[in-house]
Amino acid sequence: MISSIPKWMITLFGNKLSPNVTVIEITFLSLQIKKIRFQGDISEWDFSIGYASVIRVSETEFRNYTVAYHNKENGVFDIIFHIHGNGVGSKFIESLKVSDKLFISPPRGKKLYEQNEQQQSFLAMKPH
Ligand SMILES: Cc1cc2nc3c(=O)[nH]c(=O)nc-3n(C[C@H](O)[C@H](O)[C@H](O)COP(=O)(O)OP(=O)(O)OC[C@H]3O[C@@H](n4cnc5c(N)ncnc54)[C@H](O)[C@@H]3O)c2cc1C
Protein backbone atom coordinates (compact mmCIF):
# COMPACT_ATOMS: atom_id res chain seq x y z
CA MET A 1 0.00 0.00 0.00
CA ILE A 2 1.37 3.42 -0.99
CA SER A 3 1.40 5.68 2.11
CA SER A 4 1.98 8.99 0.31
CA ILE A 5 0.69 10.38 -2.96
CA PRO A 6 2.18 13.26 -4.98
CA LYS A 7 0.22 16.52 -4.94
CA TRP A 8 -0.57 16.34 -8.66
CA MET A 9 -2.27 12.99 -8.14
CA ILE A 10 -4.29 14.36 -5.22
CA THR A 11 -5.54 17.08 -7.57
CA LEU A 12 -6.47 14.36 -10.06
CA PHE A 13 -8.55 12.51 -7.44
CA GLY A 14 -10.25 15.83 -6.57
CA ASN A 15 -13.39 15.49 -4.45
CA LYS A 16 -12.96 11.74 -4.05
CA LEU A 17 -10.49 12.40 -1.19
CA SER A 18 -12.55 15.17 0.46
CA PRO A 19 -13.78 14.70 4.06
CA ASN A 20 -16.61 12.15 4.09
CA VAL A 21 -17.01 11.34 7.81
CA THR A 22 -17.34 13.27 11.08
CA VAL A 23 -15.90 12.48 14.52
CA ILE A 24 -18.88 12.15 16.87
CA GLU A 25 -17.38 10.53 19.98
CA ILE A 26 -13.94 9.98 21.51
CA THR A 27 -13.06 7.54 24.29
CA PHE A 28 -9.60 7.04 25.75
CA LEU A 29 -9.32 3.33 26.62
CA SER A 30 -5.89 4.17 28.08
CA LEU A 31 -3.38 7.04 27.73
CA GLN A 32 -2.21 5.69 24.34
CA ILE A 33 -5.35 3.98 23.08
CA LYS A 34 -7.94 6.31 21.55
CA LYS A 35 -11.25 4.95 20.30
CA ILE A 36 -13.05 7.22 17.86
CA ARG A 37 -16.62 6.90 16.60
CA PHE A 38 -17.19 8.30 13.12
CA GLN A 39 -20.45 9.05 11.29
CA GLY A 40 -21.01 9.14 7.54
CA ASP A 41 -22.75 7.47 4.64
CA ILE A 42 -21.47 3.90 5.05
CA SER A 43 -24.51 2.23 3.49
CA GLU A 44 -22.46 0.83 0.59
CA TRP A 45 -19.36 -0.11 2.63
CA ASP A 46 -18.22 -3.74 2.92
CA PHE A 47 -16.95 -4.48 6.44
CA SER A 48 -15.48 -7.94 5.73
CA ILE A 49 -13.22 -9.28 8.48
CA GLY A 50 -9.55 -8.58 7.66
CA TYR A 51 -10.29 -5.45 5.61
CA ALA A 52 -8.70 -2.06 6.41
CA SER A 53 -9.62 1.56 5.65
CA VAL A 54 -7.26 4.28 4.52
CA ILE A 55 -7.29 7.58 6.43
CA ARG A 56 -5.95 10.78 4.94
CA VAL A 57 -3.59 11.96 7.69
CA SER A 58 -2.08 14.95 5.86
CA GLU A 59 -2.34 16.66 2.49
CA THR A 60 -0.44 13.82 0.82
CA GLU A 61 -0.12 11.00 3.42
CA PHE A 62 -2.43 8.04 4.00
CA ARG A 63 -2.41 5.28 6.65
CA ASN A 64 -4.30 1.99 7.08
CA TYR A 65 -6.66 1.44 10.02
CA THR A 66 -9.05 -1.36 10.98
CA VAL A 67 -12.72 -0.82 11.73
CA ALA A 68 -13.44 -2.41 15.11
CA TYR A 69 -17.22 -1.91 15.15
CA HIS A 70 -19.86 -0.70 12.72
CA ASN A 71 -23.60 -0.06 12.62
CA LYS A 72 -24.90 0.67 9.13
CA GLU A 73 -28.38 1.53 10.37
CA ASN A 74 -27.01 4.49 12.36
CA GLY A 75 -24.17 5.21 9.90
CA VAL A 76 -21.48 4.86 12.59
CA PHE A 77 -18.23 2.95 12.96
CA ASP A 78 -15.36 2.81 15.48
CA ILE A 79 -11.61 2.59 15.01
CA ILE A 80 -9.18 1.96 17.86
CA PHE A 81 -5.92 3.90 17.47
CA HIS A 82 -2.52 3.46 19.09
CA ILE A 83 -1.20 6.97 19.84
CA HIS A 84 2.61 6.75 19.90
CA GLY A 85 3.49 10.30 18.83
CA ASN A 86 6.22 9.24 16.40
CA GLY A 87 4.55 9.57 13.00
CA VAL A 88 2.29 11.79 10.94
CA GLY A 89 -0.58 9.29 11.30
CA SER A 90 -0.36 9.06 15.06
CA LYS A 91 -0.05 12.86 15.44
CA PHE A 92 -3.05 13.45 13.17
CA ILE A 93 -5.23 10.97 15.07
CA GLU A 94 -4.09 12.47 18.39
CA SER A 95 -5.26 15.90 17.20
CA LEU A 96 -8.76 14.75 16.23
CA LYS A 97 -11.67 16.11 18.27
CA VAL A 98 -15.46 15.86 18.15
CA SER A 99 -16.98 17.55 15.03
CA ASP A 100 -13.77 17.23 12.96
CA LYS A 101 -14.31 16.01 9.40
CA LEU A 102 -11.85 13.82 7.51
CA PHE A 103 -11.48 11.35 4.64
CA ILE A 104 -11.72 7.63 5.38
CA SER A 105 -11.93 5.13 2.54
CA PRO A 106 -14.38 2.23 2.53
CA PRO A 107 -12.69 -0.90 3.97
CA ARG A 108 -10.87 -3.01 1.40
CA GLY A 109 -8.35 -5.84 1.24
CA LYS A 110 -7.99 -9.54 0.61
CA LYS A 111 -10.74 -11.90 1.71
CA LEU A 112 -8.82 -13.81 4.39
CA TYR A 113 -11.65 -14.86 6.68
CA GLU A 114 -12.96 -18.39 6.14
CA GLN A 115 -16.40 -18.68 7.68
CA ASN A 116 -16.17 -22.47 8.04
CA GLU A 117 -12.81 -22.52 9.87
CA GLN A 118 -13.18 -22.82 13.66
CA GLN A 119 -9.98 -20.96 14.63
CA GLN A 120 -8.30 -18.14 12.70
CA SER A 121 -5.88 -15.37 13.60
CA PHE A 122 -4.74 -12.28 11.70
CA LEU A 123 -1.51 -10.40 12.26
CA ALA A 124 -0.84 -7.01 10.60
CA MET A 125 2.89 -6.35 10.36
CA LYS A 126 4.61 -3.18 9.21
CA PRO A 127 7.91 -3.66 7.32
CA HIS A 128 10.78 -1.45 8.54
C1 LIG B 1 -3.82 -3.45 7.48
C2 LIG B 1 -3.42 -2.49 8.57
C3 LIG B 1 -4.31 -2.17 9.58
C4 LIG B 1 -3.94 -1.30 10.60
N5 LIG B 1 -4.85 -0.99 11.59
C6 LIG B 1 -4.50 -0.16 12.59
C7 LIG B 1 -5.44 0.17 13.63
O8 LIG B 1 -6.60 -0.27 13.64
N9 LIG B 1 -5.03 1.02 14.61
C10 LIG B 1 -3.75 1.56 14.64
O11 LIG B 1 -3.44 2.32 15.57
N12 LIG B 1 -2.87 1.29 13.65
C13 LIG B 1 -3.20 0.46 12.63
N14 LIG B 1 -2.30 0.19 11.62
C15 LIG B 1 -1.02 0.90 11.64
C16 LIG B 1 -1.17 2.27 10.95
O17 LIG B 1 -1.50 2.13 9.57
C18 LIG B 1 0.12 3.12 10.95
O19 LIG B 1 1.15 2.34 10.39
C20 LIG B 1 0.54 3.56 12.32
O21 LIG B 1 -0.45 4.40 12.87
C22 LIG B 1 1.85 4.35 12.25
O23 LIG B 1 1.69 5.42 11.38
P24 LIG B 1 2.43 6.79 11.67
O25 LIG B 1 2.22 7.69 10.49
O26 LIG B 1 2.03 7.31 13.02
O27 LIG B 1 3.96 6.38 11.79
P28 LIG B 1 4.97 6.10 10.55
O29 LIG B 1 5.10 7.30 9.67
O30 LIG B 1 4.56 4.81 9.91
O31 LIG B 1 6.32 5.87 11.34
C32 LIG B 1 7.01 6.99 11.90
C33 LIG B 1 7.81 6.52 13.08
O34 LIG B 1 6.90 6.02 14.08
C35 LIG B 1 7.30 4.71 14.49
N36 LIG B 1 6.12 3.92 14.80
C37 LIG B 1 5.20 3.45 13.90
N38 LIG B 1 4.24 2.74 14.55
C39 LIG B 1 4.58 2.77 15.88
C40 LIG B 1 3.99 2.22 17.03
N41 LIG B 1 2.86 1.50 16.96
N42 LIG B 1 4.59 2.44 18.23
C43 LIG B 1 5.74 3.18 18.31
N44 LIG B 1 6.35 3.74 17.23
C45 LIG B 1 5.78 3.53 16.03
C46 LIG B 1 8.06 4.14 13.29
O47 LIG B 1 8.98 3.15 13.72
C48 LIG B 1 8.78 5.37 12.76
O49 LIG B 1 9.97 5.60 13.45
C50 LIG B 1 -2.64 -0.70 10.61
C51 LIG B 1 -1.74 -1.01 9.58
C52 LIG B 1 -2.11 -1.91 8.59
C53 LIG B 1 -1.11 -2.25 7.51
Supply the residue whose CA is at minimum distance from atom 27 of ligand 1: 87
Q: Ligand 1 pocket check: which of 64, 78, 96 to mutate, most ligand atoms within 8 Å of Cβ? A: 64
Determine how β-strand 62-65 pairs with β-strand 67-71. Answer: unpaired
Pocket (CB within 6 angstroms of ligand 1): 52, 63-66, 79-82, 84, 86-90, 124, 126
In the reported structure, the alpha carbon of residue 91 is separated from the centroid of ligand 1 by a whole-number distance in angstroms of 11
Complete domains list, the chain, with CATH: 18-102 (2.40.30.10)
Q: What is the pLDDT along the chain (128 residues), one digit of tens a residue?
A: 568 877 787 777 777 788 999 999 999 999 999 999 999 999 999 999 889 999 999 988 999 999 999 999 999 999 999 999 999 999 999 999 999 999 999 999 987 777 788 888 877 666 66
